Amino acid sequence: MVEKVDRRVRKTKAQLRAGLARLMQKKSIKEITVKELVDEVDINRSTFYLHYSDIYQMLESIENELMDEIAQVIEEHPLDLVQNGSSYPMIEHIFTILDNNKDICIALLGKNGDMAFVSRIEKLIADTVLHRLSIRLPKDNRDIEYAYAFCLNGCVGMIKTWLSSENQESTQHMAELTHKLIDNTTHMYLEQALR
């Protein structure tokens, strides 16, 4: 009986999430009402309130789940640049998460998206990657922050383009491309910075 309830709850939450993603592609989260969302997915308001207190709490819950998934990937794939470890497995896993959550990621990264969420992901990655890069550089070298920002913003732009593409390349292809671009940029930069 518990599994049946869990399956029903998962299905309802998935419907709400898909509906929210569709609505966010048309309008800002501030303009979306609970009534509009439940009409979009054809469920009762009371069912919505069983799971969430309001639209903002629902969005926060979805964002936290995505953040937890990405944080877990980063934790599972330690990126030790000092010992030339490869970031490819981590990047591929992140692309898989984005692909599995394509509808809501398109909404979050789109014109009506939540830039605070994008900033949270950027900070999570920066705290991991930037820290490891800075270990190899003189303490007074701030240029690494600019090089990192260049890579990170390029990646966000590439992800947006990839997610909204009709003929989407595989997660493996995108991970390889991202890895090559970041690897070439950081190695070139580090070579120059350490001269």
Handedness of CA 182, 119, 37, 12 (dihedral sign): positive
Q: Would you state the pLDDT for residue 110?
A: 87
Q: Would you state the pLDDT for residue 190?
A: 66
DSSP one-letter string for 85-138: ---HHHHHHHHHHHHHTHHHHHHHHSTTS-HHHHHHHHHHHHHHHHHHHHHTS-
Residues in Cβ contact with 150 at an 8 Å cutoff, skipping those fewer than 6 apart: 185
Answer whether 0.85 is exceeded by the pTM. Answer: no
Q: Would you state the pLDDT for residue 85?
A: 54
Q: Would you state the pLDDT for residue 19?
A: 97
Q: How many residues does the chain have?
A: 195
- Using CB atoms within 10 Å of the CB of residue 50, give its burial: 0 to 12 exposed, 13 to 18 middle, 19+ buried: exposed
Q: pLDDT tens digits for 148-185?
A: 788 888 888 899 899 988 888 999 999 899 888 877 77
The residue type at 88: Y
The residue type at 167: N
Half-sphere exposure of 12 (CA within 13 A, CB side): 18
d(CA 163, CA 179): 18
Q: Which residues of the chain have pLDDT under 70?
A: 1-5, 78-86, 128-141, 189-190, 192-195
At 192 the three-state DSSP class reads helix
Half-sphere exposure of 181 (CA within 13 A, CB side): 17
Q: Would you state the pLDDT for residue 121?
A: 82
Q: Would you state the pLDDT for residue 77?
A: 77
